Chains A and B, each alone.
Chain A
Amino acid sequence: MKNYNIQDALFYTKEHEWVKIDGSHATVGVSDYAQDLLTDVVFVELPNVGKEVKQFGQACVVESVKSVSDVYSPVSGKVTEINKDLESAPELINNDPYGKGWIYKLEGVNESEKSNLMDATKYKEFIAGLAH
């Protein structure tokens, strides 16, 4: 089992997205575990600004050479900003999944949806259980 970087202040989904919730605003990306599984990301099909996403609904798509993965939104909300840098440098998702590799930001977030997500401790246990 590799040693994955799982950040404490974030919440996680079973599909390996992370979310940083800040009142009614949130930032979404994919976890270190996800980027490792994806291998080299080559393209991100970003959502449109203004798109309404539902919790666990499909938000956008991440491609590697040999795979395509849907990104499911950890929380509901309206997309306010997308990470344009990913268009020319999709590798940011591999190199810095929690920093420069963020994917989109939301507004109108309901904090109570947190209860459907895992915190860092639970997520660590979850991926440990996936090791085989």
Chain B
Amino acid sequence: MQTIFEKSVTGRSACQIQKPMSEETELKEFRLTLDLPELSELDIVRHYTALSKRAFGVDDGFYPLGSCTMKYNPKINELACNLEGFTQSHPLDETENMQGTLEVIYSTQEYLKEVTGFTGLTLEPTAGAHGELTALMMIKAYHLDRNDTKRKKILIPDSAHGTNPASAAMCGFECIEIPSDKDGYVDLAKLSELVNDETAGLMLTIPNTVGLFDKNILEISKILHEKGALLYMDGANLNAILGIVKPAEMGVDLMHINLHKTFSTPHGGGGPGGGFVGCVKDLEAYLPAQRVVKDGDNFKLDSNFPKSIGRVRAFFSNFGVIVRAYTYMLSLGKEGTQRIGRYATLNANYIRVKLSQYYNLPHKVNCMHEVVFNDEVQAQYGVSTMDIAKRLLDFKYHPPTIYFPLIVHGALMIEPTETESKQTMDEFIDVMIQIAHEAKASPQMLHDAPHTTVVKRVDAVKAARNPVIVCNMCCS
């Protein structure tokens, strides 16, 4: 498809600009050229409508992308965040004029405190990785504040998301990898051996990236706390345990979650997201400084926290995302909240059981919200996880997460979420079984998949060797 720049026609226009009130200007220099396209409104509408048809969202079909929690995004949430009261709220207005905005932030915080068990909370981070970074800054500040200057090491399991070590490095921590045992759990003996007075903390994803709940969680937190280290929980997988366990009660000191996973805000092709960091009492002093507090019937801002790490984002973060999440919380209430983890787990286990005869299951126990298979069975016919994923595209499914976690060779990570029905999963299961048969009968057909998409497999090597990242076509 042509780019918007190639469709430009000199002299065409999609808008009319008013005349200035005066022709006077003080500026001495202006830009001379501005190579932007010239189109009519209809040109633009057709172009981006056509592009949207070359994209695939949860609204289009089943999206069992493991670790991403692609649940349904309720439309009432969109309506809510587009209410004029919210969209026109200016972040530098006086707090007395933005009581609605502050109420949404405050109430969202209160809900999250209740479901996680934490007493301190910030909604300032804009994404999961941003939340991780915020939490690590707090860990650093906590130790330094106690004059505990030796704690420069962060322990990270080998099954962790890549953001964990990257976030730790941004805070100047040294990353120490902890191996998982054969079942994907933290190796307790190794952990005891590695934790010492130089350990700042452990970054643990719960449930882990294999989709399992680490049954030793209480021992893990004990080992850390006895040596003065903190337990940070990567809350990417909170959906599994919402309504089941409160992280604070497991000995977690602080955690982040993603509003765009558990709380149904749309992923938008890669953002905007919403992060949040919760923490126990001892760490509250280090949370970002601007906090929304309740004062009688009113809400106000309090920034007087001298030990705070400071701001991680200007203004009120991705406020529109917070409104969506809060609207979802209003709809859920206590019953809905209790059901999320349960039904997410039920769905994943249903797929686990139904596909376990056809695909190898490295960990043969009950899973949580997601189940990880691999391509060991299909590999004997020369068919890889990549082939299976690409073949699924022909059936109008978004493939599962592939080749992650790194500790499972050829991983296929399936997360159905609680919003998918039994019918949807049964159809998906049938297709997966068909692909398992195809792997044996016609492996070449799988290597060549997908067959029905607008483009076939894209040459990533060419793109990286000779990067073309902007369109070179002039409009004028």
- Interface residue A65 (Cβ < 8 Å from any Cβ of B): yes
User: Given the complex of chains A and B, what is the CA–CA distance between A42 and B464 in angstroms?
Assistant: 6
Q: Which residues from A are CB-within-8-Å of B464? A: 42-43, 63, 65
Q: How many residues of B contact A (CB 8 A)?
A: 4
- For chains A and B in complex, what number of residue pairs have CB atoms within 8 angstroms? 13
Closest Cβ–Cβ distance, residue A65 to chain B (whole Å): 5
- In the complex, which range does the number of interface residues on chain A fall in? under 10
CA distance A125 to B465 in the complex (A): 34
Cα distance A63–B464 in the bound complex, in angstroms: 10
Which of A63, A65, A91 is the most central at the interface, judged by chain B CB atoms within 10 Å of its CB?
A65
Q: Scan B444-463; emit 1 where CB is below 8 A from any A CB, else 0.
A: 00000000000000001100
List chain A residues, Cβ under 8 A from B461.
40, 42, 65
- Binary CB contact string for chain A from 27 to 52 against chain B (1 if under 8 A, 0 otherwise): 00000000000001011000000000
Residues from chain A with Cβ under 8 Å of B465 in the complex: 40, 42-43, 90-91
Residues of B within 8 A of A65 (CB): 460-461, 464
The minimal Cβ–Cβ distance linking B295 to chain A, given in whole angstroms, is: 51
CB distance from B401 to the nearest CB of A (A): 14
CB-CB under 8 A from A91, the residues of chain B are: 465
Which of A42, A63, A91 has the most B CB atoms < 10 Å from its CB? Answer: A42
Q: How far is the CA of A63 from the CA of B460 in the complex (A)?
A: 13
Q: How many angstroms between the C-alpha atoms of A90 and B464 in the bound complex?
A: 10
Complex formed: what's the CA distance from A43 to B463 in Å? 11
Chain A proximity mask over B354-395: 1 for CB below 8 Å, otherwise 0: 000000000000000000000000000000000000000000
Smallest beta-carbon distance A47→chain B, Å: 20
- Bits for B35-76, please: 1 = Cβ < 8 Å to A, else 0: 000000000000000000000000000000000000000000
Q: How far is the CA of A65 from the CA of B386 in the complex (A)?
A: 15
Given A42-B461, A43-B465, A65-B460, 10 more A-B residue pairs with CB atoms under 8 Å apart are A40-B461, A40-B465, A42-B464, A42-B465, A43-B464, A63-B464, A65-B461, A65-B464, A90-B465, A91-B465
Binding site for A on B (CB under 8 A): 460-461, 464-465
Chain A residues in the interface with B (C-beta under 8 A): 40, 42-43, 63, 65, 90-91
Q: Which 8 A-B pairs have the closest CB atoms?
A: A42-B464, A40-B461, A65-B460, A42-B465, A65-B464, A65-B461, A42-B461, A90-B465
Can you list 11 pairs linking A and B with CB atoms under 8 Å apart?
A: A40-B461, A42-B461, A42-B464, A42-B465, A43-B465, A63-B464, A65-B460, A65-B461, A65-B464, A90-B465, A91-B465
